């Protein structure tokens, strides 16, 4: 709250989101008791059945939610325009309608019912228990809910709904707040799971007040690269389960499919080893994913050699190139260096440092790494290889996908049976061991 006119919100830094509200008189101190909605009970007598999760029918989403949808729970699904929010939720609503005794209702404020039906036809999802309505008025929405009595309500999107008795335009702070509060009260009173779609602003926050994230039970972010079909759903808040799971999906013309085993997507398959590639194991939430890092090193006549990075953190790659040059004795100042990941994957974890380093060194020496090898570890400025977390999980995933050898940081406590590990302490040593040295410096 601010006591005067301001153009920009001092908390979330958005412009034009502050509305005027008349000051209310503070209420007099009350000590008289009021009626209670339900008597307080000993904790052992509280019925837990009402809070049991029901599967959504979409396995990857259940995984993120920690089992499924809890009756009365309110979810916020946020994502950039066109990422596939409506597609995912149509799939969820259809599976719910098909698998649960209660109906599912989609209220769309952005598309007409006919448009939603066209999409449903494309996806082949037309269950009799799935109802559609195109509406932007909150009281009409509540009317639909009362008529249909759904077990799952999807509101696409919360920013397009407006309450007639609240001032401000749809999507504004006061509208979003009151629409969300009404829908939450409705969900809790009817035991109806509710999913609110939220748009995100350019910098990735949910548009509208941050408050929305506090009000709802679960906040899911849906993201993915425009040029790849991979979509990830992450929970940033979950009142019913862990918030560090990731769900993987593949978006196609004919709908969205869960990817129970996404690791293979980020590896290029080839029979012969090629110089300049190395495989790392990253961890998304709690889920290990294999990622291939590729590098290309080419002689240049430019005074400022090019350093292009795709899918990796450019500051980290710059650091790794400097470490390679100073600690690994590999001169790169007369070469262009390009680094990338496969399949549009984003790898920003320090655990991938060693793989990036080896990919660049292998490209520079034009010498492929041994087949079946993964490299794990953070590389420090002194050229030392440092430990990373989740080692057992990473190695387990690598061996599951057929990798036989792993270069690991020192200090692995439990020996791994299924994959042969070799501890590496510093960069110079691992480069010499793998024969990645340029003997005749150009």
Cβ atoms within 10 Å, residue 135: 18
| Residue for token pair 């005074």 | 303
3-state secondary structure of 35: coil
Smallest Cα–Cα separation from 288: which of 399, 373, 190, 189? 399
Cβ-contact 302, 336 below 8 angstroms: yes
Please, what is the Cα angle at 64 between 62 and 288, to 5 degrees? 120
Q: How far is the CB of 310 from ligand ATP (least distance, A)?
A: 21
Q: Which does 282 bind (CB under 5 to 8 A by kind): Mg ion, ligand ATP, none?
A: none
Cβ atoms within 10 Å, residue 429: 13
Q: Which does 253 bind (CB under 5 to 8 A by kind): Mg ion, ligand ATP, none?
A: ligand ATP
Task: Please say which residue, 86 or 277, places its beta carbon nearer to ligand ATP.
Answer: 86
Task: Please say which residue, 125 or 294, places its beta carbon nearer to Mg ion.
Answer: 125
Bridge partners, 295 (sequence order)? 339
Q: Which does 117 bind (CB under 5 to 8 A by kind): Mg ion, ligand ATP, none?
A: none
Give dist(CA 251, CA 253) in Å, integer. Answer: 7
Q: Count interface residues toward Mg ion (CB under 5 A).
A: 1
Bridge-based pairing of strands 255-258 and 373-375 is: unpaired
Q: How far is the CB of 65 from ligand ATP (least distance, A)?
A: 19
Task: Please say which residue, 74 or 83, places its beta carbon nearer to ligand ATP.
Answer: 83
Task: Please say which residue, 68 or 79, places its beta carbon nearer to Mg ion.
Answer: 79
3-state secondary structure of 49: helix
- Distance from the Cα of residue 94 to its chain's centroid: 23
Task: Please say which residue, 122 or 237, places its beta carbon nearer to ligand ATP.
Answer: 122
Q: How far is the CB of 265 from ligand ATP (least distance, A)?
A: 18
Q: How far is the CB of 122 from ligand ATP (least distance, A)?
A: 6
166-191: string of b/e by CB count within 10 Å (b at 16+)? beeebbbbbbbbbbbebbbebbeebe
Find the length of the chain. 442
Please, what is the Cα angle at 149 between 145 and 152, to 5 degrees? 85
Q: How far is the CB of 89 from Mg ion (least distance, A)?
A: 8
| Residue for token pair 């057929």 | 402
Q: How far is the CB of 251 from ligand ATP (least distance, A)?
A: 6
Q: How far is the CB of 210 from ligand ATP (least distance, A)?
A: 20
Q: How far is the CB of 426 from ligand ATP (least distance, A)?
A: 46
Q: Which does 172 bind (CB under 5 to 8 A by kind): Mg ion, ligand ATP, none?
A: none
Task: Please say which residue, 120 or 363, places its beta carbon nearer to ligand ATP.
Answer: 120
Cβ-contact 332, 363 below 8 angstroms: no
The residues of the shown chain that bind ligand ATP, judged by CB under 6 A, are 79, 81-87, 110, 122, 253
Task: Please say which residue, 106 or 434, places its beta carbon nearer to ligand ATP.
Answer: 106
Q: Which does 79 bind (CB under 5 to 8 A by kind): ligand ATP, Mg ion, none?
A: ligand ATP
Residue 116 is classified by DSSP as H
Binding mask 56-95 for Mg ion (x = CB under 5 A): ------------------------------x---------
Binding residues for Mg ion (CB under 5 A): 86
């Amino acid at each position: 709250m601010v006591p005067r006119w301001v153009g920009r919100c001092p908390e979330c830094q958005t412009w034009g989101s502050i509305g005027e509200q008349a000051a209310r008189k503070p209420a007099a101190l009350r000590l008289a008791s009021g009626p209670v909605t339900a008597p307080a009970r000993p904790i052992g007598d509280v019925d837990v059945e009402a809070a049991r999760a029901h599967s959504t029918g979409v396995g990857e989403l259940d995984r993120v939610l920690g089992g499924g949808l809890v009756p009365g729970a309110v979810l916020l699904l946020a994502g950039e325009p066109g990422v596939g929010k409506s597609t995912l939720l149509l799939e969820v609503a259809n599976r719910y309608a098909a698998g649960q005794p209660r109906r599912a209702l989609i209220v769309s404020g952005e598309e007409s019912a006919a448009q939603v039906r066209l999409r449903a036809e494309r996806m082949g999802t037309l269950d009799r228990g799935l109802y559609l309505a195109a509406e932007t008025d909150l009281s009409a929405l509540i009317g639909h809910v009362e008529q249909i009595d759904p077990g799952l309500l999807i509101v696409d999107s919360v920013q397009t709904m407006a309450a007639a008795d609240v001032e401000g335009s749809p999507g504004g702070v006061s509208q979003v707040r009151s629409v969300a509060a009404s829908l939450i009260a409705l969900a809790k009173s009817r035991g109806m799971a509710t999913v609110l779609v939220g748009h995100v602003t350019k910098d990735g926050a949910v548009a509208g007040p941050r408050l929305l994230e506090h009000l709802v039970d679960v906040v899911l972010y849906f993201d993915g690269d425009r040029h790849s079909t991979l979509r990830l759903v992450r929970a940033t808040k979950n009142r019913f389960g862990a918030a560090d799971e990731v769900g993987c999906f593949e978006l196609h013309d004919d709908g969205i499919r869960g990817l129970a085993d996404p690791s293979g997507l980020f590896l290029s398959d080839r029979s012969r080893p090629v110089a300049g590639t190395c495989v790392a194991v990253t961890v998304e939430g709690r889920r290990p994913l294999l990622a291939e890092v590729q590098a290309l090193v080419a002689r240049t006549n430019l005074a400022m050699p090019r350093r292009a990075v795709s899918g990796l953190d450019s500051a980290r790659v710059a650091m790794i190139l400097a470490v390679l040059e100073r600690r690994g004795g590999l001169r790169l100042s007369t070469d262009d260096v390009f680094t990338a990941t496969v399949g549009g994957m984003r790898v920003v974890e320090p655990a991938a440092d060693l793989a990036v380093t080896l990919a660049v060194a292998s490209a520079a020496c034009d010498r492929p790494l041994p087949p079946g090898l993964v490299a794990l570890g953070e590389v420090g400025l002194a050229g030392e290889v440092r430990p990373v977390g989740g080692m057992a999980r990473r190695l387990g995933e690598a061996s599951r996908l057929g990798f036989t050898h792993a270069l690991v940081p020192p200090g692995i406590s439990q020996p791994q049976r299924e994959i042969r590990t070799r501890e590496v302490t510093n960069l110079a040593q691992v480069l010499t061991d793998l024969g990645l040295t340029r003997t005749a410096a150009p």
